[in-house]
Amino acid sequence: MYLKLLNKENKIAVIGLGYVGLPIALEFAKYFDVIGFDINQQRIAMMQQGQDPSHELDSLAFINKNITFTSDTEVLKQAHFFVVAVPTPVDDYKVPDLKPLLKASQTIGKVLKKGDYVVFESTVYPGCTEEDCLPVLEKESNLKAGVDFKIGYSPERINPGDKERTIDKILKIVSGNDQEALAEIAAVYGQIITAGIYKAPTIKVAEAAKVIENTQRDLNISLMNELAIIFDKMGIDTKDVIDAASTKWNFIKLYPGLVGGHCIGVDPYYLLYKAKKIGYDPQVIHSGRRINDSMPGFIAKRLVQMLIQKGKSPQNAKVLVMGVTFKENVSDIRNSKVADLVKELMSFSINVHLVDPYASPNEVAHEYGLTLMDSPSDQYDAVIVSVGHQHYKELTIDYFKSIMNGTPILMDLKGMYQNNDSKITYWRL
């Protein structure tokens, strides 16, 4: 398969061209003939014009690439190596939503041919590729895996906003349903990944490795968030404590914060779901998720307490929230915990203004029903800086005072500022 791809006898199809799919499709297109497939025709039209709908890649990334962007499933019949990079979210009840993944499997199954390969990159729970996706491929194609076609799993490790650790510089885990599949899949990815290839012994091991990478981060941050709550009640600055503790050589320096985005805030629920299905109720993972999900409520209630201490009625207060994307310097608003914070504040009848130079007003309105302002107003009773955008890091305490009233409160959720002004009430996680 690898040699046929390299000689342009066969084509690669990447299914799903979001934050994961588009970068890998363009990287493959440096060496192979690639079909970039997405069901969103508006996104396809943008990519055909050399524009990244996710605003992660500039137009230069599209130049001199052997790639065809399409939403036509008929075009997929030309492909022999399929890479699935569709979203794997959770629903309102925190249950894995496999509909995009199963729909992609169904689409591929209808065009699957003998000798083809299907590799999944979407984050799933251990067993999902072989137990959920594979039966769909076999049913739609009337082919048998391991006999007529090969499958594999290679977890994505895209880090939105990171211009240093680009896709080619991140070590890639690959796996296959047998040794031949493993070798061929490793060779294909090895063509574009300079950081190296790690061959996992089984597909389930590769799936499990991906899901615990983010579960571990989730748990570490949940510890810091719980410590922040404890230290806040004790009147101790958490950042000062962390800075002091980090002088010990083996202390892991992490900070509290809102845990959003697709990876850390979602992946643990896939592991929780699978663990419960096999009869085990995880305690530590569930506890970490509960703490991290509760942080918007904790911050909102803390602000209400501070407003009341200032003699202000929450329902008459005007608050500015700066930043709604899930992390700094990106436009991605998926699973934004800032949106949860805004809704918590609004539940106290607080008048909330929301700004973010990176986020799309249409996407924020569609996803969360919230209005994104073009720029801040003034006379705010409090300002919450919730995302560490570079632009926000350059702001000064004097700036915040200029847009607030006489008894200002500044909540710095990212610990970016140093306040030496006694006229401003400064609080950070």
The residues that are catalytic are 263
Q: Can you tell me the distance from the alpha carbon of 345 to that of 360, in angstroms, rounded to the nearest whole number?
A: 21
- For residue 151, which of 125, 128, 123 has the smallest C-alpha distance? 128
The 8-class DSSP code of residue 165 comes to S
- The two beta strands, 380-385 and 318-322, are parallel
Q: CA 163, 329, 123 angle in degrees (round to 5)?
A: 70
- The two beta strands, 318-322 and 351-355, are parallel
3-state secondary structure of 105: helix
Residues pairing with 79 in the sheet: 11
Beta-carbon count within 10 A of 311 CB:
7
Q: How far is CA 402 from the centre of its chain?
A: 34
- For residue 181, which of 41, 2, 363, 311 has the smallest C-alpha distance? 2
Residue matched to tokens 């006379």:
379
